[in-house]
Structures are given as structure tokens and as C-alpha cells.
Amino acid sequence: MVGCLCVSNAILSYGWKRDSCPPQSLFKWDFGKNRSQKADPQYHDEIELPFPTSLVSKTFLGGKELKCCYKATMDGFSATEFHNKCDFKGPCVIVAYTDKSFRFGGFNPEGYRSTDDYYDTFDAFLFYWMEGQLFVLPKVGGSGAALFDYARGGPQFGADGLLIGPPLAPVMGGFAGPDTNSGVGDLRQAKSRLGLSYAKRHDGKGSLFGDESKAILEEVVVFACPQIASLY
């Protein structure tokens, strides 16, 4: 189930998600966070793409200009800052770096809107580099619950495939962690379990991080298309 960058069209061939009733906007931006809450679009123009454009050539982002809308070391590692910068940007690519210089990420075809909901799709995928080679991990086990969009959490692929800055767990009516009032996730924290929602690594390991299920992140960047973001 694991492929290198030259994966088949069955893995990286995407189509629009259809609903039983006509959508009110191109990427369903009538739902979730109110549009008036959207921050003015700002991009880090100086940051170059850390991945080959061929990675997204068969997605909604294929052939389009991509810019960095979020850089954790500059914008902040809290899930609040992540959503302030990434909501209403449309499909996006997340790339992260661990404190052990391991690089990985994921493609989200739905984008973020702080809906506190999940999305079913075969179009999302994870990826990582090893010894200079890029590997892609497709969605497995059906299209269900491929993506989660928690307002208090960062990127989440599947129930357990990849969680970056997950919301702090509720404890006795409050939240665990230093801020008991918000429960906002910290994007320095990441965990992964592969095999149920996304394919295992090419070496058969059941976590993006190899033998470890958790990792500490030093950087998270998100790339989106300004042209698509302007459509809302």
C-alpha cells in the first residue's frame, strides 16, 4: 500500500466531493467558523516549497501557485494561531520537522474552517522522506473519517494516522495541561499510528516516526493557494 512519489493514479487521482444537496460554496466555507472571523490573508513569501510540485500535481493544487500561510516558529505553535493563519485557505499541504530532523507531512484536500467535524475522503494522504526519497501513504480502510478539523487542535489525519497539536483531553469538566480554560493544542506535539486509516510505512513500521509513536516538532509549515483562498 506504500508508494514512492511515482505512485499510481489510483492513489493520487482526485475528484470533487459530492453532497446530496448543492453546496453553497466551492469548498463548503458556509460552515464552521464565521467568515467575519477570518484573518486578513498574509503569506510568508520568502519561504520556498520544501516538497516537489509533483507531489500535488494530481490534486486541486496541481499547477497552481503555492505560498506559505503558516510557519510555527514565526506565527506561534498554538492551535489557535494555526487556525488563524490556515482557516479558509482551501486545500493545503502541511510539512513538519521533528527535533531529530525527520521531515514528514500530509495533504488536506478539504482545508480548515474550525468546524469541529470530520470529513470522508480518499483524496488525503500522508508522506515522509527517508534517505532523500519521498514516500506517500494513501488512505486505507475506506474513506471514512479521513480528516478532522478541531478548532482547538492542529492538523489531524484519521483518528490516529497523524495528530499534530491535538486538543487537550477533557478531564473532570476541564482540560488537562497548563491552560485548563482552553484546551488548545500545542503543535510541538505529534503522534502517529499507521495501518488503520493510512497505510504503513514502506518498511512496515506502524508510525510515521518509525519505532516511536510520538515526536517533538521544531517546525510546522503550511502551503496553500492564494487564488483558491480568494474564492470564498
First-to-last alpha carbon distance for the chain, in angstroms, is 36
Task: Spell out the per-residue pLDDT of the chain, length 232, in tens.
Answer: 455 554 433 333 333 333 434 333 334 444 455 555 555 678 999 999 999 999 999 999 999 999 999 999 999 999 999 999 999 999 999 999 999 999 999 999 999 999 999 999 999 999 999 999 999 999 999 999 999 999 999 999 999 999 999 998 653 344 444 444 469 999 999 999 999 999 999 999 999 999 999 999 999 999 999 999 999 6
Helices vs. strands in the chain: H and E counts, helices first:
4, 14
Burial class (CB in 10 A: 0-12, 13-18, 19+), 99: exposed
Amino acid, res. 101 = S
Distance of alpha carbon 132 from alpha carbon 12, whole angstroms: 21
**What pTM was estimated for this model as a whole?**
0.81
What single DSSP character describes residue 198? B
Do the Cβ atoms of 147 and 124 come closer than 8 Å?
A: yes
Phi and psi, residue 119, nearest 5°: -130, 140
